[in-house]
């Protein structure tokens, strides 16, 4: 829960709590906060267990897409493109072999005609489909 909170933030929260609650009531407030967090965690665990009991083995099948999304959230764009390229080309990174998709040539687009360069002060042509 506190993975993103560093020591500096905890010290600031402690000092703010000290001013708001006061030094004599701060230990009791911290204990109450801890009990509340523990209860919320127990409720969440109980709800998850109840769903697992009621749904049965399909519960794990429902969790799989959520775990895949969580994995995508932690990836950077470069590794996402690399993984998709490996899937497309059926490349096995361990053996270095490529599958059938890599041996077949991807479709190539027709070469675009070269447009003449603009003269100084000339306005570029407007493409009505692009606006």
Span 72-125, pLDDT tens digits:
777 777 877 887 788 888 755 555 555 544 455 556 667 777 777 888 888 887
HSE value, Cβ hemisphere, 13 Å, CA-based, for 63: 9
What does the CA dihedral 13, 19, 21, 26 come to, rounded to 10 degrees? 60
DSSP, residue by residue, 83-104: HHHHHHHT-BTTTTB--HHHHS
Please tell me what DSSP assigns to residue 130: T
- Is the pTM here over 0.75, yes or no? no
| Choice among 5-9, 51-55, 64-68, 107-111 with the minimum mean pLDDT | 107-111
């Amino acid at each position: 829960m506190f993975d993103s909170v560093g020591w500096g933030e905890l010290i600031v929260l402690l000092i703010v709590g000290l001013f708001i609650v006061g030094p004599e009531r701060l230990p009791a407030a911290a204990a109450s906060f801890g009990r509340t967090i523990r209860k919320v965690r127990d409720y969440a665990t109980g709800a998850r267990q109840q769903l697992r009991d009621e749904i049965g083995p399909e519960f794990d099948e429902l969790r799989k897409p959520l775990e895949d999304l969580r994995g995508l959230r932690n990836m950077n764009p470069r590794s996402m493109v690399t993984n998709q390229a490996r899937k497309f080309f059926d490349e096995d990174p361990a053996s270095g072999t490529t599958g059938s998709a890599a041996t077949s040539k991807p479709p190539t687009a027709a070469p675009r005609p070269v447009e003449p360069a603009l003269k100084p002060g000339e306005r570029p042509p407007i493409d009505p489909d692009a606006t």
